[in-house]
């Protein structure tokens, strides 16, 4: 596997990042996951823009997006595969233990791993922990993902693949790595960004392409929604057929099936949608 590290392609086994990297020691980093179909990255421009937004939110130096794009293209060219997951990681760089971020400059890594198309349906659970919609990291895609790791483990214990959070005022927010949509009286809704959710790229495209409304929703909407689905880079649009103890259906409902169809069609036609 060839990866990109700080300006050059390298063998993954030879690439070295300092054990004092601030991303490793205190989670001072941001990241993106980008889907690549036969070497072609989907919505790369949007991902690069979000990387820069997250970096700004964390006070990291402005990433050189031309270099990040070059790194992604070089890694994709060097490692051909049908369906890949590009991972861009950008951290505060090497820094003495116990000190603020050092001045050695940021670390940029672009890596790739093979993946497969997700199943059309899945199960989700709710978790008792909350997203802080007023926190310093709200809406940023940082490498401080410990809370998501814990919540996802809770989902796996219950035979589900995603855990859903409410925010501090009890409103439905998002999953550990996905946004959530519900159908109420035949209409499609998703929580607004003010709920504290990440500005998901699949979410934004689904809002635009399938015409969802952004609505404040209580967490218990999951007990009565006619349909529920998740969106993310690797899930695309994925139906939730069981949430906690509630079985909704055996397969995607009509609104979900239509959102899946539109997403597949539009994303195949436009690899870098604005």
Token output for 168: 């501090």
Cα dist. 117→65, 129, 174, 262 in Å? Answer: 28, 30, 22, 17
Nearer to ligand PLP among residue 36 and residue 201 (C-beta): 201
d(CA 42, CA 266): 11
CB of 119 to ligand PLP, least distance (A): 17
Residue nearest to ligand PLP (CB): 200
Nearer to ligand PLP among residue 171 and residue 198 (C-beta): 198
Q: Under DSSP, is residue 178 helix (H, G, I), strand (E, B) or coil?
A: coil
Nearer to ligand PLP among residue 147 and residue 216 (C-beta): 147
Cα dist. 156→147, 159, 236, 245 in Å? Answer: 14, 5, 20, 14
d(CA 142, CA 31): 6
CB of 132 to ligand PLP, least distance (A): 13
State how far Cα 238 lies from the chain centre: 14
CB of 141 to ligand PLP, least distance (A): 6
CB of 16 to ligand PLP, least distance (A): 27
CB of 173 to ligand PLP, least distance (A): 9
Nearer to ligand PLP among residue 21 and residue 32 (C-beta): 32
Long-range contacts made by residues 15-18, C-beta under 8 angstroms, separation at least 24? Answer: 15/109, 17/107, 17/109, 18/93, 18/94, 18/107
Q: What does the DSSP 8-state code read for residue 64?
A: -
Nearer to ligand PLP among residue 10 and residue 154 (C-beta): 154
Nearer to ligand PLP among residue 95 and residue 231 (C-beta): 231
What are the residues binding ligand PLP (CB under 6 A)? 33, 141, 174, 177-179, 198, 200-203, 231-233
Token output for 111: 């890596």
d(CA 220, CA 231): 19
CB of 97 to ligand PLP, least distance (A): 28
């Amino acid at each position: 596997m060839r990866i990109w590290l700080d300006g050059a392609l390298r063998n993954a086994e030879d690439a070295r990042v300092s054990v004092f990297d601030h991303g490793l020691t205190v989670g001072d980093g941001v990241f993106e996951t980008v889907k690549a179909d036969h070497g072609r990255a989907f919505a790369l421009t949007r991902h690069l823009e979000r990387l820069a937004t997250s970096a700004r939110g964390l006070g990291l130096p402005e990433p050189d997006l031309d270099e990040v794009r070059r790194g992604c293209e070089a890694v994709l060219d060097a490692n051909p595969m049908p369906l890949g997951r590009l991972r861009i990681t950008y951290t505060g760089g090497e820094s003495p233990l116990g000190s603020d971020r050092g001045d050695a400059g940021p670390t940029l890594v672009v890596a790739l791993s093979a993946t497969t198309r997700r199943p059309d349906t899945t199960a989700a659970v709710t978790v008792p922990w909350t997203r802080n919609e007023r926190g310093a990291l709200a809406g940023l895609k940082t490498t401080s993902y410990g809370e998501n790791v814990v919540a996802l483990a809770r989902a796996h214990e219950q035979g589900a693949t995603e855990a859903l959070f409410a925010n501090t005022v009890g409103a439905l927010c998002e999953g550990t790595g996905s946004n959530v949509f519900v159908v109420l009286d035949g209409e499609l809704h998703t929580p607004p960004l003010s709920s504290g959710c990440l500005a998901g790229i699949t979410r934004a495209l689904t809002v635009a392409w399938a015409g969802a409304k952004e609505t404040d929703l209580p967490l218990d909407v999951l007990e009565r929604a006619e349909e529920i689905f998740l969106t993310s880079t690797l899930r695309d649009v994925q139906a939730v057929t069981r949430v906690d103890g509630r079985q909704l259906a055996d397969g995607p409902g009509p609104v979900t099936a239509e959102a899946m169809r539109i997403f597949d069609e539009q994303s195949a036609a436009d690899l870098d949608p604005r």
